[in-house]
Amino acid sequence: MAESAVPAHGGGGDEPTRRDFIYIATGAVGAVGAAALVWPFINQMSPASDTLALASSEYDLSQVPEGQQVVIFWRKKPVFIRHRTAAEIAAARADDNAPLPDPQTDAERVVQSNGQPGKAEYLIVEASCTHFGCVPTFGGGSYGGWLCACHGSVYDTAARIRSGPAPANLVAPPYVYTSDTIVKIG
């Protein structure tokens, strides 16, 4: 006669026991505790509100007279907004096919970050030489654009590098026109 085996805990094999409940409850409390412990470390990696405020800048272009430029700050970096004259635009377009160290046409230099064509009369570029980060001045050099006095980099009226040690054109920040006179940078 064969004896039937009865589990030591006294129940069927599929029914949960108190011990199973205690294991599950302990695991759940441990998971919640770990999440509560890790959350402050994850949250501190988010940008601060003052940083988020600098993420974009809006500027009214009607404040810039033709032939002048302003310097505004975006992400704590200076940005040139130049209201170009018809002669400056014509000079930039005439040099579109010139041998350039960093080739770009004048039209490519004024494209908005959404891919739409910008306004040819406004050139928006970061005011930082691509060689060592000095701030170039307008009206110097042999191309009528910007001259970086630190090491002699010369940019044309489309802010393209023409001569000197700078390896690239002045960088165009991401921007879009939100109206006929308002530009949003960033």
Q: Are residues 33 and 70 in the same domain?
A: no
Q: Same structural domain for residues 42 and 121?
A: no
Q: Are residues 88 and 179 in the same domain?
A: yes
Q: Is the pLDDT of residue 87 over 70?
A: yes
Residue 139 included in any domain: yes
What's the confidence (pLDDT) of residue 113? 93
Answer yes or no: do 179 and 139 share one domain: yes
Mean pLDDT of 74-87: 93
Whether 103 and 130 map to the same domain: the answer is yes
Helix H or strand E segment including 22: helix 18-43
Average pLDDT rounded to a whole number, residues 94-117: 93
The CA distance from 64 to 59, in Å, is 10
Which residues, at least 6 apart from 73, have a Cβ–Cβ distance to it below 8 Å? 57, 79
DSSP string spanning 38-75?
HHHHHHTTSPPHHHHHTT-EEEEGGGS-TT-EEEEEET
What percent of the chain shows pLDDT beyond 70? 90
Residues 99 and 136 occupy one common structural domain:
yes
Q: Domain total for the chain?
A: 2
Residue among 9, 83, 131, 151 flagged as catalytic? 151
CB 137 within 8 A of CB 149: yes
| pLDDT digit string, tens, across residues 10-68 | 555 678 888 889 999 999 999 999 989 988 888 888 777 766 666 788 999 999 999 99
Sign of CA dihedral 104, 107, 112, 115: negative
The answer on pLDDT for 6 being more than 70 is: no
Q: Are 40 and 46 in contact (CB under 8 A)?
A: no
**Same domain for 65 and 35:** no
Pairing of strands 153-156, 144-148: antiparallel
According to the model, what pLDDT value does residue 109 have? Answer: 94
169 in the same domain as 120? yes
pLDDT in tens, 122-157: 999 999 999 988 899 998 778 989 999 888 899 999
**pLDDT, position 139:** 86
Q: Is 131 assigned a catalytic role?
A: no
- Tell me, what's the pLDDT at 9? 54
